[in-house]
Chains A and B, each alone.
Chain A
Amino acid sequence: MQDLGIRVLFMGNNFIRLLKGLGVALKISLTAVILSVVLGILLGMVMTLKNPVTKCITKIYLESMRIMPQLVLLFLVYFGLTKSFGINLSGEISAVIVFTLWGTAEMGDLVRGALISIPGHQYESGAAIGLTKLQIYRYIIIPQTLQRLTPLAINLTTRMIKTTSLIVLIGVVEVLKVAQQIIEANRYTVPDSALWIYGTIFFLYFIVCWPISTMAGWLEKKWKN
């Protein structure tokens, strides 16, 4: 390997193109994350209701989202919807829909877990010192719930970013697709470019996800007591 394949990264605007590809993936995952957090909080609150009907429906939704591989869900939305209902969605939109549906389920379960982990005496003590219902939530329940929830939600974010790499399989031009294009274009001039390009993507994902998951771990430790 006298002729290092890494130079392909710096030819033309290859590196910028890779970063732009990663940007596409990140944009999709962050859109889905934001939607999932909002919808997940609502779902989590619904899941704590004692109503048997909502309990059953949310349980089925959660389990079916959890048990299906995300790739299968992507196929269902991207290929299935088009064929059965004639709804023609782009890969990006399908990805946002799927990751939002899945993320909402996961987030909902985290919110439910955080809500039920607050012991009943917290509500009762709050009421006993004369706080109104609103004040109990505002000053007692929500701050504690957020402390438990935030590290878990951040971890979910990294999971969603990692899972977004699957969108290349439904034809979205993201970082892996750009990589394939670059490798094919330089097949004859730089035959070993694949090693360097895929290695670079490996570290790009690492650079994106590592700070986020480190922050989650740090917050978890800080708020433990």
Chain B
Amino acid sequence: MDTEFIIKYIPLYVKAAGLTIGLGIVGIFFSLLIGLSVSLIQYFKIPVLKRIAGIYIELSRNTPLLVQLFFLYFGLPKAGIRFSSQACAIIGLSFLGGSYMAEAFRSGLNAIDKVQEESALSIGLKHGQVMRYVILPQALSLSVPGLCANMIFLIKETSVFSVLALADLMYVAKDLIGLYYKTDEALLMLVIAYLVLLLPISVAASFLERRLRYAGFGN
């Protein structure tokens, strides 16, 4: 182990981790937006949109992110549609994450008994209020474990962004291996970097999950 080498290249990894986290957060944000809209479209069974949402979920869940990115980054420019590496990364991650988030939201929404909606209506709440005060608070808290798992999954998936020539953690590690042949050091720092990024999220997720179990009402 060459500690001098490690110390010298820590800033490179910190910068790369920043990129990974930055793209991850933006991607997760859009995934949540897409996921919530898609799950609400399916929940209210909006005629045409429901079909489109269904097709989107199947397409996005059954293809690998790497193939999606190759298509976005190398394929689409040939049809005149050109995105920057960052845009491709975010579009790809949101396209993939949207369907996973939608499934998490959907399972939360489906877990709420029909009785709840009917009782809320019978005490005179309007449809908007039923959603706002009765269904969504319970559904959201029930979908939190799924959402957290998806966030970790999506941050892990960012590891393929190096194919878009983005200098993320994988890219830096590969670069150092190629340039200096310091395989052990580069890989060790890579593992530590991902641990530092993901371990706190994973711990926070399991803590949150335990706290939210109390939110389940009546069962």
Among A68, A79, A82, the residue within 8 A (CB) of B191 is A68
Where chain A touches its partner, the secondary structure class is: helix
Q: Which A residues are in CB contact (< 8 Å) with B66?
A: 165-166, 168, 176
Q: Is A55 an interface residue (CB 8 A)?
A: no
Among B61, B75, B156, the residue within 8 A (CB) of A213 is B61
Q: CA separation between A162 and B62, bound complex, in Å?
A: 7
Q: Which B residues are in CB contact (< 8 Å) with A5?
A: 78
Contact check, A67 vs B194: say whether CB atoms are below 8 A apart.
Answer: yes
Size bracket, chain A contacts: 35 or more
Q: What per-residue 1/0 map shows which CB atoms of B54-66 lie under 8 Å from chain A?
A: 0000110111111
Contact check, B79 vs A162: say whether CB atoms are below 8 A apart.
Answer: no
Contact check, A75 vs B79: say whether CB atoms are below 8 A apart.
Answer: no
Among A80, A183, A201, the residue within 8 A (CB) of B67 is A201
Q: CA separation between A66 and B205, bound complex, in Å?
A: 14
Among A70, A84, A169, A199, the residue within 8 A (CB) of B184 is A84
Q: Which B residues are in CB contact (< 8 Å) with A66?
A: 202
Given A68-B194, A71-B159, A71-B170; A176-B70 close (CB under 8 Å): yes
Where chain B touches its partner, the secondary structure class is: helix
User: In the assembled complex, how far is the CB of residue B111 from the closest CB belonging to chain A, in whole angstroms?
Assistant: 14
Among A183, A191, A205, the residue within 8 A (CB) of B64 is A205
Residue total for B at the interface (Cβ-Cβ under 8 A): 40
Among A63, A69, A165, A168, the residue within 8 A (CB) of B194 is A69
Q: Which A residues are in CB contact (< 8 Å) with B199?
A: 67
10 extra interchain contacts, Cβ-Cβ under 8 A, other than A67-B198, A67-B202, A158-B62?
A5-B78, A69-B157, A70-B156, A83-B183, A84-B184, A163-B64, A195-B71, A195-B78, A199-B71, A205-B62
B residues neighboring A (CB under 8 Å) = 58-59, 61-68, 70-71, 74-79, 152, 156-160, 162-163, 170, 173-174, 177, 183-184, 187, 190-191, 194-195, 198-199, 202
